[in-house]
Structure 1
């Protein structure tokens, strides 16, 4: 049996970031413009490190390559998912992500990026950008090139506890005053469509990726209504937030003592509220809000004591053929990678 794998996050400074990661979770962030906590990551642009235990100091990517038994021998060359917490102190750029096939062909074999958001907190009256109103690709291109953003972009009001599934090809942006936990494919490819004509610390406008974005934007926009399934037991309330081709995501609300079966193949877990103790065959492990860990395949059944809330995810398996299947795009391919 193996213990849970507690991980040390990686923090990213962003032009739109703030201080909520320190104020709300007690993290030691690098500056007052920290926008992203890469909480559970095997991506080479920011790998989590095992915090304690027999694999202390080992990166998640290395653990994936050397000890695949911890992950139920799940297939794939790299760790499939990435968990983030995002502090949108200011508006994020309006952006879109490619799917697996487009990213494979145009981003040096990178994965596409389907993601989802759980709204941890937001200011009263907050909203986000989710989709667009164009009915044809011609209308989409015209509005983008004319800068008619107010009539193109679809804004949605939000409140804490809301959940959004954001498949590749969806125009989206978090807006100021929003704190979210994001579960996504392990990818760092983003195509910026509009950035409010902002300038960085050196006075330069950030790069846009209009042609790539137009290649991959879904037209017309479809809101994916995901059926959520809830299970209420005496000490735990479980909500299955989404099941997609890439991941399933759950929320656990625990009051007292709750028992769980052995995870399969493995689970990513983030404590978003409360504290307590996790008990399994290898010992007792205290946890608190802001901890991030992996329940490995060989952890066995376990219990959680205390009052706490969690967001958890597990990967869904896609074959290589499905990941790189050819797709139809309305524009000519654009050379060169674009990441943010």
Structure 2
């Protein structure tokens, strides 16, 4: 029987970070170091692209087949696979940072912009994000940054397990200590740091670079949070939650699938990214059935006209935005 490419299972890429730890091991991963902060779960970015584990493209990378077999993605346009799914373990707080939009990133970083969002997988009691700021003008913002008035400037937002936060480009933000999140984002690795707690990287003996001028140029002032407008439907005992979609986000739709029995899906986008956060079950697509478990990541290609999920599964899924 010929191998099919209706579903591609992907090998994660792990990133050491000054703020990382070992919690990602709970997904069944063999972590390559003690300070793993990021699992790049579904990525075609040149800084970390996944190897395909099955089908005719086994052993190739997602970035490679984006260039050589675009029909698998419904001929979706773009030089790069458009989305990036990560799982992040904030053993310590991430730097306070901001990301550019597409126009600024293209000129200044030769990258895509970075709008992102977080599904909070786990949060310690009392955990909070840095999300936005209190400055009303650019002059006030710059003055407070240069004076180190972080307590007065930065907006803190408490979070708990199961929360969802939409983070458009231009938003000052940081995941803080004690949070694990699944991040869905544009396929970009451009970050402008405002503040890094004056900490020293033990591996280099140096403080990490800040990018104040770029951050000043791209930060939204004054801050105006964007509501995700989450909606929920039920299929028997299962819940299908739309966390964010158009018109709020033009780059991606993100879903939380809480599968408790069997749910049938029909394709309505060129391709779908899926991460299994918890549980076990099966995926049936193209006449084949695959066993699923915690920590797996896969991509349903344009060849998958429909599929079925069964079992007890907690998944985050995403699709690229519809183009005008």
Query: 1: CA distance between counterparts of 2:167 and 2:201?
Result: 27
In structure 2, the partner of 1:264 is: 269
Matched, 1:284 2:289: yes
Residue 218 (str. 1) matches residue 223 (str. 2): no
User: Which structure is higher in strand share?
Assistant: 2
Q: How does 1:314-333 map to 2 (within 5 A)?
A: 314-318=319-323
Distance in 1, Cα, partners of 2:312 & 2:41: 21
Residue 113 of structure 1 aligns to a residue whose secondary structure is coil
RMSD over equivalenced CA pairs, Å: 1.1
Alpha-carbon distance in structure 2 between the residues aligned to 1:27 and 1:126: 25
Q: Which residue of 2 aligns with 1:48?
A: 50
Q: Which runs of 4+ in 1 moved over 2 A?
A: none
1:7 and 2:10 correspond: yes
**CA drift at 1:318:** 4.7
Aligned partner of residue 298 in structure 1, secondary structure: coil
Q: Distance in 2 between matches of 1:141 and 1:318?
A: 36
Does residue 1:248 correspond to 2:256, yes or no? no
How far residue 179 of structure 1 moved from its aligned partner, in angstroms, is 0.3
Aligned length: 317
* Alignment partners' CA distance in 2, 1:217 and 1:282: 49
Query: Which residue does the alignment assign to 1:204?
Result: 206
1:329 corresponds in structure 2 to none
3-state DSSP of counterpart to 2:201: coil
The unaligned stretches of length 5 or more in structure 2 are none
- Corresponding residue number in structure 2 for 1:115: 116
> For residue 64 of structure 2, what is the aligned residue in structure 1?
62
Aligned with 2:299: secondary structure?
strand
Give the structure 1 partner of residue 194 of structure 2.
193
What's the offset of the Cα at 1:281? 2.0
Given that 1:262 and 1:298 are in contact with CA atoms closer than 8 Å, whether structure 2 keeps it comes out as no
| 1:194-244 Cα distance to aligned partner (Å, 9 max, x none) | 000000113211100000000000000011112111111204211111011
Distance 1:318 1:196 in 2: 40
* Worse-matched range after superposition: 256-265 or 282-291: 256-265
Matched with 1:91 is: 93
SS of 2:170's partner is coil
Candidates 233, 236, 254, aligned match of 1:234 = 236
Q: TM-score, normalised by structure 2?
A: 0.96
Q: Which runs of 5 or more residues in structure 1 are unaligned?
A: 320-340
* TM-aligned CA deviation for residue 263 of structure 1: 4.8
